[in-house]
């Protein structure tokens, strides 16, 4: 199987020769070639210049040969398109301003046209499709409404659950419409898979998730999905696994603290599962990495609906030799023969 066939099959729980492998934040500061690129250009310039975004996206694939290339971008370009100011600090961290303080601030946000305001992302995807062999898939992505709102609201979105619940839902609805259009245009540009990052939804209780995250995730999948499998990711997600599986996404990506055995038992019959190597593992030694990767492979027990990935984004202190150890361990692994 080639990488595209392998990833798409795994997303839909069809048989594969081995699990596909890629890593969240696989393009970044741990790579010497990326640091050279950043020495010449700031983060926003790289992400918004399709040729540079394409270059950054390809760097880890060229070095390690993952089973997918994820477009180089940032989830906070969505609130920027709605009129907020976005800057990236020297340490790489994003900062939005002015943060939303009231319902009036929500009303001032633009109903952005995702097709024009985020066109640089689609151009980067098209360049990647032209640069890669047809057998290598491209992953597009977006932030989910709850997680985007958490960055946009002064004090975080949870501060509005009780005091500004109607304004919060209005904001989430605005975001869901833009995000649905955004992922639809990414698919039009050639994205083979879409990942939705609802990183901070795991901070919610199950009831809060059902009220303030789940309806909008369902809306995005319903209105935004065309021909690409969808992956949904959240940290600290063990208590909302069933709800994540109910979004309509094809794959649930789990964090390091969520038990793989528990996830397979709870939702493995309904969706594929992605994860969940601890990013801190990539700062250790290649030998230890190979051991832990083999341990994860043994846990999935020949189950085809699995994608090997980190449990969240790679750290800047990641060692390239540890990334190589993960990729090579997975590539040399094969599912045990069927007993049938």
For the annotated catalytic residues, the residue numbers are 25, 29, 38, 74, 151
**H/E/C letters for each residue in 142-174?**
EECHHHHHHHHECCCHHHHHHHCHHHHHHHHHH
**65/149 Cα distance (integer angstroms):** 35
Q: Are 302 and 337 in contact (CB under 8 A)?
A: no
Q: Are 35 and 105 in contact (CB under 8 A)?
A: no
Chain mean position to CA 151: 16
- Residue 298: which residues within 8 A CB-CB, separation 6 or more? none
Give strand pairing partners of 197: 143, 233
Which whole-number Å values give the CA distances from 142 to 93, 175, 309, in the listed order? 17, 11, 18
| Selection from 193, 213, 210, 218 nearest residue 309 by Cα | 193
> For 190-230, where are the alpha helices, taking DSSP H only?
206-212, 214-224
């Amino acid at each position: 199987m080639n990488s595209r066939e392998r990833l798409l099959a795994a997303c839909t729980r069809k048989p594969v020769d081995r699990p596909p492998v890629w890593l969240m934040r696989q393009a970044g500061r741990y790579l010497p070639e990326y640091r050279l690129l950043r020495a010449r250009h700031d983060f926003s310039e790289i992400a918004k210049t399709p040729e540079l975004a394409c270059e950054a996206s390809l760097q880890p694939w060229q070095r390690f040969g993952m089973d997918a290339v994820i477009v180089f971008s940032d989830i906070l370009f969505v609130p920027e398109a709605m009129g907020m100011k976005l800057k990236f600090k020297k340490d790489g961290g994003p900062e939005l301003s002015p943060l939303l303080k009231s319902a009036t601030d929500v009303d001032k946000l633009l109903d952005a046209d995702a097709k024009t305001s985020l066109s640089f992302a689609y151009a980067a995807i098209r360049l990647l499709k032209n640069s890669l062999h047809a057998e290598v898939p491209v992953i597009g992505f977006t932030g989910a409404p709850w997680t985007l709102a958490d960055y946009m609201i002064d004090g975080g979105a949870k501060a509005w659950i009780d005091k500004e619940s109607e304004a919060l839902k209005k904001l989430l609805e605005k975001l869901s419409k833009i995000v649905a259009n955004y992922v639809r245009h990414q698919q039009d540009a050639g994205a083979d898979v879409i990942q939705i990052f609802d990183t901070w939804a795991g901070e919610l209780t199950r009831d809060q998730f059902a009220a303030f995250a789940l309806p909008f995730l369902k809306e995005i999948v319903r209105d935004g999905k065309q021909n690409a499998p969808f992956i949904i990711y959240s940290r600290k997600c063990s208590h909302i696994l069933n709800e994540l599986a109910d979004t309509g996404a094809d794959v649930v990506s789990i964090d390091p603290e969520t038990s793989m055995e528990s996830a397979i038992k709870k939702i493995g019959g309904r969706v594929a599962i992605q994860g969940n190597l601890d990013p801190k593992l990539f700062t250790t030694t290649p030998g230890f990495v190979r051991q832990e990767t083999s341990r994860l492979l043994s846990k999935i027990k020949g189950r085809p609906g699995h994608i090997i990935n980190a449990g969240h984004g790679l750290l800047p202190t990641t060692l390239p030799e540890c990334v190589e150890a993960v990729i090579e361990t997975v590539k040399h692994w094969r599912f045990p023969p069927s007993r049938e």
